């Protein structure tokens, strides 16, 4: 589920923490990194729990309408079809999913008022009203309402606040989480440990991410010496800390990760710089990495496996 860019970002954040706090050990940094990876997966699960809770609120609405002393015709005809939606039901009644979410303490993180407010607003939408009007909704009808419900929730400020309250990784992982949840909705119904498919892969998180963290931290001085000649008129002390960390990570990738194309390394760190550093960092990183690639290539320090990995 996690892309290598997300993994690079998490490595960068841990390296920054190690830089700012000399008392923090590499072992503690590794633990932070692995925890961040796990939290990203739990964030995916939490999004599913949130959808489940919204669907459950339709049952609450049904019970409230039925309990009225003088129910209207609308009250009498209301059916909790969102609760009975067989697609979301396949998640709600899945014992493996429930067990995994309980272990992570996810059910207790959902704010009841947040769910009520969102459901009340969504219930007014044309998509939901059209869904309610169907005597026998098809699987595609059930899928359409879930997709629209999720798309609407993601745009909701209260939803974002809830995610950020419990998961500091939300801003970093939002696009990947949203894409993964939509992918899952399109594949419903599910059974068994369906969520295993979305668990971060060991190859990416351990063999790439953890090794990148260790190597960049271990070779800090050597990487800095490699970078210094390319700074030209720049004093290394004037370079933003995050920019320097990204450059060290990039040099580490270029010289120690033979399966990653040089162009990928360059593009990835330029994109990360756009979002996480100063306004001028993108151009700075791009320029320095271009010089570094030429310098490393000339010295024979870029060794890639396979054709087309060096450009």
CATH number assigned to the domain comprising residue 247: 1.10.940.10
Whether residue 183 is found in the same domain as residue 128:
yes
Domain total in the chain = 2
CA neighbours closer than 13 Å in the CB half-sphere of residue 30: 14
Is 190 within 8 Å of 86 (Cβ atoms)? no
Find the mean pLDDT for residues 227-236. 81
Question: What secondary structure, in 3-state letters, does 101-170 show?
Answer: HHHCCCHHHCCHHHHHHHHHHHCCCHHHHHHHCCCCCCHHHHHHHHHHHHHHHHCCHHHHHHHHHHCCCH
- Identify whether residues 8 and 146 lie together within a single domain: yes
Are 182 and 62 part of one and the same domain? yes
The verdict on residue 309 lying in a domain is: no
| Unique residue bearing structure tokens 């990760």 | 257
Q: Which residue has the tokens 């050990």?
A: 25
Q: Tell me the CA distances in angstroms from 49 to 17, 44, 46, 100, 257, one per residue in order.
A: 31, 9, 5, 11, 38
Range of weakest confidence among 17-26, 76-85, 216-225: 76-85
Burial class (CB in 10 A: 0-12, 13-18, 19+), 239: middle
Q: Omega of the bond prior to 189 within 30 degrees of 0, cis?
A: yes
Per-residue pLDDT tens digits for 9-34: 999 999 999 999 999 999 999 999 99
Eight-class DSSP state of 24: -
In eight-state DSSP terms, residue 70 is: S
pTM above 0.85, yes or no: yes
Q: Quick one: 186 and 227 in the same domain?
A: no
Residue 308: is its pLDDT beyond 60? no
Domain that holds residue 114: 4-198
Place 129 in a pLDDT band, splitting at 50, 70 and 90. Answer: very high
Q: Residue 76 — very low, low, confident or very high, per pLDDT cuts 50/70/90?
A: confident
Q: pLDDT over 90 for what percent of the chain? A: 80
Q: What is the pLDDT of residues 87-100, one digit of tens each?
A: 999 999 999 999 99
Q: How far is CA 57 from CA 53, 67, 143, 305, in A?
A: 6, 15, 18, 54
Report the share of the chain in percent with pLDDT over 70: 97
Does residue 77 share a domain with residue 130?
yes
Task: Answer yes or no: are the C-beta atoms of 33 and 11 closer than 8 Å.
Answer: yes
Q: Tell me: pLDDT of 282 over 80.
A: yes
Give me the pLDDT at residue 156, please: 93
Given 198, 231, 253, which residue is the final one in a domain? 198
Is residue 238's pLDDT more than 90? no
- In this structure, are 43 and 99 located in the same domain? yes
Evaluate whether residue 179 is within a structural domain. yes
Lowest mean pLDDT of 75-89, 174-188, 211-225, name the range.
Answer: 75-89
Please, which pLDDT band fits residue 306 given cuts at 50, 70 and 90?
Answer: low
Q: 217: closest CA among 32, 35, 2?
A: 32
């Amino acid at each position: 589920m996690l892309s290598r860019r997300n993994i690079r970002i998490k490595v960068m954040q841990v390296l920054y923490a190690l830089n700012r706090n000399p008392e923090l050990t590499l072992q503690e940094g590794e633990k932070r990194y692995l925890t961040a990876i796990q939290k990203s997966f739990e964030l995916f699960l939490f999004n599913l729990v949130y959808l489940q809770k919204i669907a459950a609120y339709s049952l609450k609405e049904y019970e409230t309408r039925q309990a009225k002393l003088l129910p209207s015709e609308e009250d009498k005809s209301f059916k909790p079809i969102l609760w009975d939606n067989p697609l979301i039901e396949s998640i709600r009644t899945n014992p493996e999913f429930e067990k995994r979410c309980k272990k992570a303490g996810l059910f207790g993180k959902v704010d009841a008022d947040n769910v009520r407010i969102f459901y009340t607003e969504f219930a007014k939408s044309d998509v939901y009203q059209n869904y309610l009007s169907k005597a026998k909704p098809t699987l595609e009808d059930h899928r359409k309402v879930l997709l629209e419900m999720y798309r609407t929730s993601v745009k909701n400020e209260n939803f974002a606040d809830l995610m950020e309250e419990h998961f500091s990784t939300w801003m970093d992982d939002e696009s990947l989480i949203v894409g993964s949840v939509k992918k899952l909705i399109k594949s419903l119904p599910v059974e068994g440990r369906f969520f295993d498919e979305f668990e971060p892969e060991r190859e990416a998180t351990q063999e790439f991410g953890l090794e990148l963290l260790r190597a960049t931290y271990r070779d800090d001085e050597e990487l800095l010496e490699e970078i210094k000649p390319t700074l030209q008129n720049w004093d290394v002390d004037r370079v933003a800390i995050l920019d320097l960390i990204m450059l060290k990570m990039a040099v580490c990738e270029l010289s120690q990760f033979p399966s990653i194309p040089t162009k990928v390394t360059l593009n990835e760190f330029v994109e990360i710089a756009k979002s996480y550093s100063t306004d001028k960092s993108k151009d700075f990183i791009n320029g320095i990495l271009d010089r570094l690639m030429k310098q490393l290539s000339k010295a024979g320090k870029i060794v890639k496996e396979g054709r087309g990995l060096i450009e």
